[in-house]
Amino acid sequence: MAELRAEVMRPDLERLGVFDSQRVRQRFLDAYEPADTQVITVDGRDCGLVALRAAADGWWLEHFYLSSALHGRGVGHAVLEALLVPRDERPYRLNVLQGSPARRLYERFGFSPYQEDEVDVFMIRRVRAD
């Protein structure tokens, strides 16, 4: 899965001038928590992964990587639809790379930016009151 992360993130990281082949893999391996992670399977093949980590400040959506061959086919939408169910009052949070097309998907799910730097945009989706 570290290889998939490197493959998927490479174009954006190169565009931002921060791609480092070893670092992109090591950052995943250092933060990978199997208990929080689900493998995404399409047509019987492992093609991605996503982690949802509980924290005091929210539910962190992390390590959401999908094989480039599946981008734009609704798989990411289906994954988010399944994950973003009401759990408690904590918001959902994530970070996405500046200029990443994935940001549009997150915005369609109600995420909005609350902080950013040259590389990352941190986004939040607050729990909606009924």
Q: How, if at all, do strands 58-66 and 45-55 pair?
A: antiparallel
pLDDT, tens digit (0-9, with 9 covering 90-100), for 37-55:
999 999 999 899 999 999 9
Domains of the chain: 2-89 (3.40.630)
Q: What contacts 24+ positions apart, CB below 8 Å, involve 64-73?
A: 64/94, 64/102, 65/1, 65/4, 65/5, 65/8, 65/9, 66/8, 66/40, 67/4, 67/7, 67/8, 68/7, 68/8, 70/42, 71/101
Per-residue pLDDT tens digits for 62-78: 989 898 888 889 999 99
Rounded distance, CA 124 to CA 94, Å? 7
pTM higher than the cut 0.85: no
Angle between helices 21-31 and 2-15 (to 10 degrees): 130
Mean of the pLDDT values across residues 23-38?
80
Residue 129 has pLDDT above 60, yes or no: no
The 3-state DSSP class for residue 105 equals helix
